[in-house]
Amino acid sequence: MEKIIGFCNLHDDPHLGQLTTKRPCGVVSFLGRYGLMDFTLSNFSNSHIDRIYVLVKNSVLSVRSHIGNGAIWTNNTRRGFVNLLLNEDGLFNPKFNTDLANLKANFSIDYVDFDYAVIAPSFMLASIDYRPIIAAHEKSGADVTIVYKHINNADEEFHNCDRLKIGADNKVTKIDTNLGRTSEADISLESFIISKKVLRKIVNDVSKVSELFSLREMIKYYVGEEALDVRAYEFEGYVIPMLSLEGYFKHSLDLLNVQNRNKLFSEDWPIYTTTHNTPPALYGRNADVRNSFIANGSIIKGKVENCIISRDVVIEKGAVVKNAILFTRSEIGKDVKVINALIDKGARVSGVNALEGKDGEVLYIKQGAKI
Amino acid sequence: MKHKVVAMILAGGKGTRLESLTKKTSKPAVSFAAKYRIIDFPLSNCANSGIGVVGVLTQYESTALDAYIGNGEKWGLNGVHCLMTSLAPRQTEQGANWYKGTADAIAQNIDFIDESNPEFVVILSGDHIYKCSYNEMIELHEKTGADATISVIEVDPAEASRFGIMAVNKTDRIVEFQEKPKVPKSNLASMGVYVFSWPVLRKYLIADMKDPKSEHDFGKNIIPNMLNDGKKLQAYRFKGYWRDVGTLASLHEANMDIALDKMELNLYERDANNRIYTEDTYSVPQYVGKRGSITRSIATQGASILGDCDSCVISNGVVIEAGAKCTRAVIMENAIVKKGAVVHNVIIAPGVVIPEDAKINVGGDEVVLIGK
């Protein structure tokens, strides 16, 4: 059996507006319970990839506290692990802080015993079984396999993502950017399968091509130069791209719809996350909750509609919260109205009558703010 | 390695009064308050009291409970100074023996306790719901120089004859123990939580093993014997929420106490060091549907509430379909209440499916168990 390692790559993740000023995209709270990177880590775990490295670009402490000892994603806790790799030099040199620089600094390709590496970002949410993809990669004899999704709403979604042109035998002949001009497109999910030998080559080549290039850009370069055999593998499941604050907000609330939810989650593909030992959610006498996710530890005494309520949130009596995402430990005081808003971790809204994002805009209340 | 304190949790009972809930599960493993099992409470209390050596005495349906207990990781009891294990009856050089009583269960594991060479042994019951730091009790035990300290709780005098009652003097030294007395001499009921000085208890356990007339029970034999010998037994007055959930009615009532936010158990205190720990489930967050409603209830992750729930306890994986109505219902993991069904004052056992339009116990005052 092939020896596989997984890299959860946080270097190339997009900014989700103010959500990611102090934390990487991968640990942004999702559905009140997860961090975005839980999907990638759980995909590895469910695909029986037991040696996992997280390529951390910055804010290592928030990644560290989310991962803990990594045991929840690990099958055998002696042989398996979730290790964090941080390129410290990159912190002083942000332009050069790429995934490949991180690999070069922290990962001894020759020392680690593996046949193939799976490298995946945290912002493309999906339940992906990598085992058939690795098998197809091996069978094709390709140097690199890119997992992609064929979409017919490229004019609305996946903007600025890599778009593949695929020829005979699934060969990738061109990679450009989805500018939203067409509706049909094959979008790279930025998940790559690479053999040990090819990964070594890419890490070595980068200093000859450009030290600024990320793995994704190097692969694009090889395709342009026809220097590597790059193939595409179509993923037919559901994918949610987290590319902006607005997209994050919309896609999260879309999952209140059970049909969408069932596309992302499946019973035989659990998404693991860290436990916080919170008690069950408590609903008061006047609680009025409709179409919402409620995480454990919350105390709901007011009205909640079309919302995602995270752990340990308090919603007081008389409060009305609609179309909103509330992060961990936030509090909405008595008789306060909150509509179209994203309330970040630990923020408390009590001294005002109403907070409302107007005209489809999401009102963002920053972490720890007291209003 | 020496440890000052060892805790032993009695978890071998069948819990006959919980009827079919304990058909394939021992009482301590019965689910409680949507996401817990009863034994999570004494185990979390040990963890939060800094007691790292814990033996769990199992017997009835021990396999499932042993598997749940594991190496104690769920309660953080797998650290370097910890030793946690379940202790089911075993075959030894002397032969194979079932545990013949609570005292015999401890006596058969004297070797386990001796390994830690402790000063004190805390004996706990695996089927009580309460939050308690045992440190205060151990401190009192040390300060008074007692041979045994028994945790007591004040009960309604009218109810006192249901309990083991401790009569005490002015300094709370126990002068008499009455097991379920017709005429109680006090209203201090034993909680079945004991701190013993190990050398003293050890002697009594060995003597008790050799006594053919003994029932090998702490309440009936060990405590009365110690009192008769003039040993110093101290009462520790516990203040707070404590429930023995040995019957369907008491199990239901204790669940309702939490759903109705009586808060006496203080599950919602923000002190992260004083939480109750349990097994984590990898389920999606709980979802309340467009036409669902939920009031005066608790619900945990993995639940789907599409119908109406008032005064309910809703566990992991439970589905309440649209149009179903649940009141005063304790709904255990993975149970389903189909559309149009109405249930009232019930405990629904794990995995049970309540059929469409079923009407169960509507208007009933007594709690009904719906088992498989």
A275-308 pLDDT, tens digit per residue, is 888 999 999 999 999 999 999 999 999 999 999 9
- Domain of B291 in residue numbering reads as 281-370
Indicate which CATH number applies to the domain containing B13. Answer: 3.90.550.10
Report yes or no on B270 lying in a domain.
no
| In CATH, A282-365 is 2.40.50.140 | no
Residue A164's pLDDT band (cuts 50, 70, 90): very high
Please indicate, yes or no, whether residues B37 and B115 belong to a single structural domain of this protein: yes
Interface size between A and B, measured as CB pairs under 8 A: 100
Instruction: For residues B283 and A31, give the distance between their C-alpha atoms in angstroms, rounded to a whole number.
Output: 12
What mean pLDDT is reported for chain B? 92
A275 in reach of chain B (CB within 8 A): yes
Residue B39, in any domain of the structure: yes
Residues of chain B with pLDDT under 70: 263, 272
Distance CA A349, CA A356 (A): 12
* ipTM rounded to 2 decimals: 0.89
A75 touches chain B (CB under 8 A): no
CATH code (residue B333): 2.160.10.10
B299 shares a domain with B209: no
Q: Is B177 in the same domain as B28?
A: yes
Tell whether the model's pLDDT for residue A1 goes beyond 70. Answer: no
* Amino acid in the structure at residue A4: I
Please give the tally of structural domains in chain B. 2
User: Would you state the pLDDT for residue B266?
Assistant: 80
Domain boundary among the residues B259, B290, B319 is at B259
pLDDT tens-digit series, residues A346-363: 999 998 888 888 877 899
Q: How confident is the model at residue A267 (pLDDT cuts 50, 70, 90)?
A: confident
Task: Tell me whether residues A285 and B277 touch, CB distance under 8 A.
Answer: no
Domain boundary residue, one of B225, B259, B293: B259
Res A328 pLDDT > 80: yes
Identity of the residue numbered B153: I
CATH architecture of A4-264: Alpha-Beta Complex (3.90)
- Cβ–Cβ of A312/B292 closer than 8 Å? no
| A71-118 residue pLDDT tens | 889 988 888 999 999 988 888 888 899 999 999 999 999 999 999 999
Nearest CA distance, A282 vs chain B (angstrom): 5
Are A265 and B261 in contact (CB < 8 Å)? no
Contact flag A279-B33 (C-beta cutoff 8 Å): yes
Assigned domain for B173 exists: yes
Please indicate whether, in this complex, the C-beta atoms of B278 and A277 are within 8 angstroms of each other.
yes
B298 contacts on A by Cβ (under 8 Å): 279-283
Scanning every residue of chain A, which has its alpha carbon at the shortest distance from the alpha carbon of B75? A277
B268 assigned to some structural domain: no
Q: What local confidence, expressed as pLDDT, does residue B372 receive?
A: 82
Q: Are both B244 and B335 inside the same structural domain?
A: no
pLDDT tier for residue A320 given thresholds of 50, 70 and 90:
very high
Question: Do B291 and B189 share a structural domain?
Answer: no
- Partner B, chain A 239-268, Cβ-Cβ below 8 Å: 256, 258, 261, 265
Instruction: Compute the distance between CA of residue B302 and CA of residue B309 in angstroms, rounded to an integer.
Output: 16
* Closest partner CB to B267 (pick from A31, A279, A308): A279
* B237 & B360 share domain: no
Task: Please state, in angstroms and rounded to a whole number, the distance separating the CA atoms of residues A45 and A28.
Answer: 20
pLDDT of residue A275: 82
DSSP string, A82-144: EEEEE-HHHHT-GGG--HHHHHHHH--TTTS--SEEEEEESSEE----HHHHHHHHHHHT-SE
**Are the C-beta atoms of residues A314 and A33 closer than 8 Å to each other?**
no
Tokens matching residue B308: 């109406």
Q: Is residue B29 part of a domain?
A: yes
Burial class (CB in 10 A: 0-12, 13-18, 19+), B216: buried
- Domains A4-264 and A282-365 equal at CATH topology level: no
B18-72 per-position pLDDT tens digit: 888 888 888 899 999 999 999 999 999 999 999 999 999 998 888 888 999 999 9
Cβ atoms of B208 and B107 closer than 8 Å: yes
**Digit-coded pLDDT (tens) for A193-202:** 999 999 999 9
**Residues whose CB falls within 8 Å of the CB of residue A73, separated by 6 or more in sequence, listed in order:** A41, A42, A44, A45, A52, A82, A272
For chain A, the average pLDDT equals 93
Which band of pLDDT confidence, cut at 50, 70 and 90, is reported for residue A311? very high
Please check whether residue B264 lies inside any domain of the structure.
no
CB A291 within 8 A of CB A276: no
Percent of chain A, pLDDT > 70?
A: 100
Per DSSP, A280 falls in state P
Considering only alpha carbons, which residue of chain A is nearest residue B277? A277
| Distance (Å, whole) CA B48 – CA B71 | 17
Whether chain A has a CB inside 8 Å of the CB on B285: the answer is yes
DSSP state of A294: E
pLDDT of B259: 93
Of the candidates A217, A269, A229, A225, the one whose C-alpha atom is nearest the C-alpha of residue A137 is: A229
